[in-house]
């Protein structure tokens, strides 16, 4: 170990209940969000489950629950739990304030109840992007605002924790997992200013009736200021696991800690100035600024390419350490019998395809073909739905046994679960990309739409998507089942260690000082953000055309 453990195991364990509480809310979000998943999968195949089993008031209420519950709540609560745990164990000291941490959790839970309550009561059927002028109940916006404030308080706690650690360990390099956890929250806190302004200045006063109109383009643009970097807020915790924990799960060492740091730094400085790639088709935004955001998008892509190289090399070395000699036989030598490893390895494989479709989206002219079609749905299921979610599944497979002291109820079921989800995701996303190229729209209940193309329903197209979606659904159910049975039925004690890298004193990676600094990189991030966002926001502000709200459901 680099630093002598500064605190006893008992002191570190103060974070366990907090992490468990966040995971519990994350799992409830995932469960609720995916009740409607099967409705959507079947809708692609032109089968209207909503009509036969109307548990939702409309297809779109279910779709809102799906998007908000998965993309916004399952992710955020999982991340707060997992990264708090990671900070504590990587720095080997408790959080600066457990009292603040618990207040933060309760605040976020109140936000969760308001948001989910508004959706379940059919008062916020506005989908997860909540575009104005669709107007939700104020509780929906207020709830989301509380969740965001909770993430800011989480950063405050991490920074205080980090400063104390720094005072105790002058001159030492920040362990990579803690570095990544901090990066995630620093990047996110800068990024979330956009959606905070949107909600507090525009949407909340408007939904409360304090002002009567809202400007849709301004609201959308503030949304996408946050809406692109939020995808990296979801991804970076997975990257923390790939760099900080997967190497040990695979039986090896991270190939290059410095390349890992450079990737995190690129994620920090390039995640923000790219959001206009979601608005290529929007009028009222200069074409030049769209082009600037397009080029910056190619730069942020680079951070994931570095990750691909670094994690790929790490896994190859791990396989060779297990005796592989040929070109590719390191792959079967990896610990495929270990669910915590396998789920994350399968996530990585799916992320390669998600990256490819991301690159197509980012290309200005290609985007015009795929924008607002099912292609985009295919893309984000491979990224947040697969790379991130399968990685989180893998993390749970060691974290829940560690926290509960009970061995995973069935490792074999967990392995089957990861593979079923992987195959389902492959089929589902491939088909959605194809349907998107045929013009099948997204955010649309196909089974009730007035327009339809016979080619969409050719057996190889939409029915196959429904099969893929059903496999993913089964994968989700098996995951929940295993976790619940672990917590209730499993009697064997867990034999799990936190898979953070440990180094003997002479083996520490040598890290240039600049790769362990904050101020220069945060400054670059803020400057690039201002350069990329001030001009379009000024233009939009100079030609506001506010409208009244509508309730479309
Ligand atoms: Fe995206 C739309 C561009 C990544 C999520 N994206 C979305 C939406 C979501 C989303 C949710 O430019 C829809 C938003 C909405 O509702 O409208 N995206 C990109 C690009 C990347 C990218 C260039 N997206 C993500 C990630 C997400 C995510 C990550 C969630 C976590 N995306 C776009 C664009 C749009 C968009 C446009 C707007 C489209 C439109 O018109 O609306 C890149 O960052 C991707 C980089 C990824 C790679 C892959 C690296 C691969 C790795 C795996 C290594 C594998 C190994 C294998 C080592 C370069 C690291 C190991 C081998 C073994 C054998 C185990
Ligand atoms: Cu994006």
The span from the CA of 482 to the CA of 397, in Å, is: 9
Which residue's alpha carbon is nearest to atom 16 within ligand 1? 129
Contact 269 CB / ligand 1 (< 6 Å)? no
Which pLDDT does position 55 carry in this prediction? 93
Average pLDDT over residues 146-167: 98
* Residue 134: strand, helix, or coil: strand
CA nearest ligand 1 atom 10, residue: 380
CA of 396 to the centre of ligand 1 (A): 23
Ligand 2 centroid to 292 CA: how many Å?
Answer: 14
Indicate whether 27 pLDDT > 50: yes
Q: Is-catalytic flag, 457?
A: no
Question: Is 141 among the catalytic positions?
Answer: no
Cβ 377 vs Cβ 442: under 8 Å:
yes
- Where residue 8 falls among pLDDT bands split at 50, 70, 90? confident
Closest to 483 measured CA to CA, from 367, 404, 380, 374: 404
Q: Which atom of ligand 1 is nearest to the CA of 239?
A: 60
For residue 41, the surrounding DSSP H or E stretch is helix 37-44
Predicted local confidence at residue 87, as pLDDT: 98
In this prediction, residue 11 carries a pLDDT of 87
Q: Is the CB of 36 under 6 A from ligand 1?
A: no
What is the per-residue pLDDT for 35?
93
Hey, what CATH topology would domain 9-502+530-541 get?
A: Cytochrome C Oxidase; Chain A (1.20.210)
pLDDT in tens, 183-204: 999 999 999 999 999 999 999 9
The pLDDT of residue 390 is above 80: yes
pLDDT at 1 over 80: no
Q: Do residues 77 and 112 touch, judged by C-beta distance below 8 A?
A: yes
For the chain, domain boundaries? 9-502+530-541
pLDDT of 3 strictly over 60: no
- pLDDT above 90 as % of the chain: 92
Burial of 283 (0-12, 13-18, 19+ CB in 10 A): exposed
Nearest ligand for residue 309 CA: 1
**How many angstroms separate the CA atoms of 50 and 244, rounded?**
43
Catalytic residue among 39, 78, 380, 428: 380
pLDDT band at 2 (very low <50, low <70, confident <90, very high): very low
| Average pLDDT of the chain to the nearest whole number | 95
User: How far is Cα 381 from Cα 372, in angstroms, rounded to an integer?
Assistant: 15
Active-site residue identified among 232, 255, 317, 421: 232
Q: Which of 77, 402, 442, 479 is catalytic?
A: 442
Confidence of residue 452 (pLDDT cuts 50, 70, 90): confident
Query: What's the pTM?
Result: 0.97
Are the C-beta atoms of 312 and 250 separated by less than 8 Å? no
Residue whose structure tokens are 């953000």: 529
Residue 4 has pLDDT above 70, yes or no: no
Catalytic residue among 92, 173, 293, 381: 381
d(C-alpha 551, C-alpha 540), whole Å: 25
**Which tokens sit at 179?**
């570095």
Question: What's the whole-number mean pLDDT along residues 530-535?
Answer: 97
Q: What is the pLDDT of residue 6?
A: 60
Adjacent-strand bridge partners of 214: 547
Mean pLDDT of 447-454: 86
Which pLDDT value is given to residue 311? Answer: 98
Pick the residue whose CA is nearest to atom 47 on ligand 1. 355
The overall longest dimension of the chain from CA atoms, in Å, is: 70
Residue 231 in contact with ligand 1 by CB distance below 6 A: yes
pLDDT at 443: 94
Dihedral pair phi/psi, residue 213, rounded to 5°? -130, 165
């Amino acid at each position: 170990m680099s630093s002598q453990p500064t605190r006893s195991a008992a002191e570190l364990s103060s974070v366990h209940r907090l992490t468990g509480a966040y995971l519990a809310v994350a799992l409830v979000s995932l469960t609720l969000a995916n009740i409607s998943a099967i409705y959507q999968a079947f809708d692609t195949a032109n089968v209207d489950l909503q009509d036969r089993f109307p548990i939702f008031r409309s297809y779109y209420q279910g779709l809102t629950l799906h998007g908000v519950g998965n993309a916004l709540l399952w992710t955020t609560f999982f991340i707060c739990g997992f990264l708090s745990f990671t900070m504590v164990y990587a720095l080997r000291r408790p959080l600066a304030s457990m009292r603040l941490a618990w207040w933060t959790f309760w605040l976020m839970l109140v936000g969760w109840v308001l948001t989910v309550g508004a959706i379940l009561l059919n008062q916020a059927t506005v989908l997860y992007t909540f575009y104005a002028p669709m107007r939700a109940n104020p509780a929906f916006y207020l709830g989301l605002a509380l969740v965001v404030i909770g993430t800011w308080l989480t950063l405050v706690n991490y920074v205080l924790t980090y400063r104390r650690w720094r005072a105790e360990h002058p001159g030492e390099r920040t362990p990579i997992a803690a570095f990544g956890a901090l990066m995630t929250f620093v990047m996110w806190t800068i990024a979330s200013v956009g959606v905070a302004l949107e909600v507090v200045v525009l949407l909340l006063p408007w939904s409360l009736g304090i002002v009567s109109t809202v400007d849709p383009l301004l609201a959308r643009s503030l949304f996408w200021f946050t809406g692109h970097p939020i995808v990296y807020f979801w991804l970076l915790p997975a990257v923390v696991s790939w760099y900080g924990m997967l190497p040990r799960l695979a039986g090896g060492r991270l190939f290059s800690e410095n390349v890992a740091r450079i990737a995190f730094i690129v994620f920090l400085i390039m995640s923000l100035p790219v959001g206009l790639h979601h608005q290529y088709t929007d009028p009222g935004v200069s074409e030049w600024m769209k082009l600037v955001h397009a080029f910056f998008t190619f730069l942020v892509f680079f951070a994931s390419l570095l990750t691909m190289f670094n994690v790929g090399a790490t896994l190859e070395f791990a396989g060779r350490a297990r005796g592989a000699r040929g070109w590719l036989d390191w792959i079967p030598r990896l610990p495929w019998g270990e669910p915590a490893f396998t789920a994350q390895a399968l996530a990585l494989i799916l992320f390669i395809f998600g990256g490819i479709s991301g690159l197509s989206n980012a290309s200005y002219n290609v985007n015009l073909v795929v924008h607002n079609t099912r292609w985009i749905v295919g893309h984000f299921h491979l990224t947040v739905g697969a790379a991130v979610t399968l990685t989180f599944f893998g993390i749970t497979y060691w974290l829940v046994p560690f926290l509960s002291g009970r061995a995973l109820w069935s490792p074999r079921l967990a392995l089957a679960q990861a593979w079923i989800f992987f195959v389902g995701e492959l089929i589902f996303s491939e088909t959605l990309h194809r349907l998107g190229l045929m013009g099948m729209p997204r955010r649309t209940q196909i089974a009730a739409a007035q327009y339809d193309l016979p080619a969409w329903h050719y057996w190889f197209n939409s029915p196959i998507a429904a099969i893929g979606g059903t496999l993913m659904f089964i994968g989700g159910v098996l995951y929940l089942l295993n976790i619940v049975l672990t917590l209730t039925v499993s009697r064997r004690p867990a034999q799990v260690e936190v898979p953070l890298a440990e180094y003997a004193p002479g083996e520490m990676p040598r890290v240039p000082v600049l790769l362990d600094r904050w101020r220069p990189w945060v400054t670059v991030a803020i400057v690039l953000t201002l350069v990329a966002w001030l001009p379009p926001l000024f233009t939009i502000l100079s030609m506001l055309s506010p409208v009244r709200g509508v309730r479309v459901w």
